């Protein structure tokens, strides 16, 4: 029995590593194209690119590790069923539960490790990624911009450029939100440029041929249209010493202890029900999402035996189907939690409960045969 268990666990290692590399490449390919564009076409330094790449990896592992576990389980046990090894194990009087139990135990331990990775490493990596992006904005603002995408990191302005060529922006729209109760100031220009100061602490936005909604001196809540040939916005200070531009942690970038502390001691979180639900949802999601390797193995083991197919294409297709259902349930559960009164504890654990129930039913079918 001990030899059989070691054999199965050893057989799982190679497909798991191959799946890990494959899915990491699949998830990374989009980011790699963007980073290559920054390196080749926008002059961003190799070290800055490597830092951003490193900060992206921990977040990808939260998706890649569970998917790789599922794919490797489907490959190995599907092949064993296809080659009648499962029937041979049953025929020798060995109960299948004693064979799959070590796999479930290992994936449970992997889930605990993934929880540590998600809490201690991924959270800090996501925060470091945004800080690195902010530094990139200081050093090379044009490299940070992307055509057709709203940029909200310019202090009081939201900038949208439909086309970017070299160091020039075209078809520019700039929104400047005002105080509560006042209309948003809108500036539109045919083209413009962003100039970084020599000390890399301020940016100047220079616009040409456009219009600006300027506040009416007699009625600050109203605006009048101003046409211009050249217009220069006040210098935008992006230095690290400015508290207004300090990169604050978002909820998804917080560790578990930081979320719990905010729920207990932060007045802004405690008083606002919607904000509190957001923090509670992030707390439950971080924990429950980490146990995806365990619930995937619980579903994948009987599914592989029932399907009796050990081909890589079939296994990867089944894996992606299970993963899709799981993540759709997560997205739906999060939306229902934030938009209604469903408790975060229930909705964030619902995908795991669904997978455990499905796995239990499939296990029962396999064991009863």
- Report whether 268 contacts 249 (CB < 8 A): no
pLDDT score for 244: 44
pLDDT score for 291: 94
Q: Which residue has the tokens 């100061």?
A: 197
Residue 252, in any domain of the structure: no
Query: Which residues have C-beta within 8 Å of that of residue 118, sequence separation ≥ 6?
Result: 58, 62, 286, 289, 290
Residue 276, in any domain of the structure: yes
CA–CA distance, 308 with 74 (Å, rounded to integer): 9
Token pair, residue 306, equals 């029932």
Residue 287, in any domain of the structure: yes
Residues 126 and 169 in one domain: no
Residue 255, in any domain of the structure: no
CA distances from 170 to 185, 193, 208 (A): 19, 9, 10
Residue 181, in any domain of the structure: yes
Mean pLDDT of 253-263: 90
Residues 72 and 119 in one domain: yes
Coil, strand or helix at 340:
coil
Mean pLDDT of 11-34: 84
Mean pLDDT of 1-20: 84
- The number of domains in the chain is 2
Residues 196 and 73 in one domain: no
Write the pLDDT tens digit of every residue in 219-240.
Answer: 666 677 888 899 888 777 655 5
Write the pLDDT tens digit of every residue in 88-99.
Answer: 877 777 777 788
Token pair, residue 358, equals 């499905």
Residues 15 and 121 in one domain: yes
Residue 24, in any domain of the structure: yes
Residues 115 and 208 in one domain: no
41 has a pLDDT exceeding 70: no
**Which range of residues forms the domain containing residue 176?**
156-237
**Cβ density class 163-183: b for 16+ within 10 Å, e for less:** eeeeeebebbebbbeeeeeee
Count of CB atoms within 10 A of residue 142's CB?
A: 16
């Amino acid at each position: 029995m001990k030899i059989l268990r070691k054999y199965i666990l050893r057989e799982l290692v190679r497909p798991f590593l191959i799946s890990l590399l494959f899915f990491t490449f699949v998830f990374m390919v989009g980011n790699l194209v963007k980073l290559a564009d920054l390196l080749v076409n926008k002059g961003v330094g190799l070290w800055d690119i490597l830092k951003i790449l490193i900060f992206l990896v921990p977040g990808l592992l939260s998706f890649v590790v569970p998917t790789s576990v599922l794919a490797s389980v489907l490959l190995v046990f599907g092949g064993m069923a296809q080659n009648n090894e499962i029937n041979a194990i049953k025929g020798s009087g060995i109960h299948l539960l004693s064979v799959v139990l070590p796999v479930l135990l290992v994936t449970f331990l992997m889930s605990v490790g993934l929880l540590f990775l998600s809490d201690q490493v991924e959270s800090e990596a996501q925060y470091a990624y945004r800080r690195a992006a902010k530094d990139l904005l200081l050093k090379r603002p044009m490299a940070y911009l992307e055509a057709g995408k709203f940029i909200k990191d310019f202090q009081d302005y939201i900038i949208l450029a439909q086309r970017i060529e070299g160091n020039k922006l075209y078809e520019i729209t700039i929104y400047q939100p005002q105080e509560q109760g006042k209309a948003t100031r809108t500036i539109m220009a045919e083209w413009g440029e962003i100039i970084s100061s020599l000390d890399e602490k301020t940016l100047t936005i220079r616009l040409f041929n456009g219009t600006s909604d300027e506040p009416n001196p007699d009625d600050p809540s109203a605006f009048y249209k101003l046409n211009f040939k050249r217009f220069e916005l006040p210098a935008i200070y992006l230095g690290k010493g400015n508290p207004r531009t300090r990169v604050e942690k978002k909820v998804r970038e917080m560790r578990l202890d930081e979320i719990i502390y905010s729920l207990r001691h932060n007045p802004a979180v405690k008083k606002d029900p919607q904000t509190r639900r957001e923090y509670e949802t992030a707390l439950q999601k971080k924990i429950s999402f980490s146990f995806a390797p365990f619930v995937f193995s619980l579903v994948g083991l009987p599914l592989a035996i029932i399907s009796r197919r050990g081909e890589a294409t079939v296994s990867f297709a089944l894996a992606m189907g299970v993963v899709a259902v799981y993540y759709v349930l997560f997205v739906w559960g999060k939306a229902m939690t934030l938009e209604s009164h469903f408790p975060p504890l229930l909705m964030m654990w619902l995908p795991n409960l669904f997978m455990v129930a499905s796995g239990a039913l499939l296990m029962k079918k396999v064991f009863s045969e």
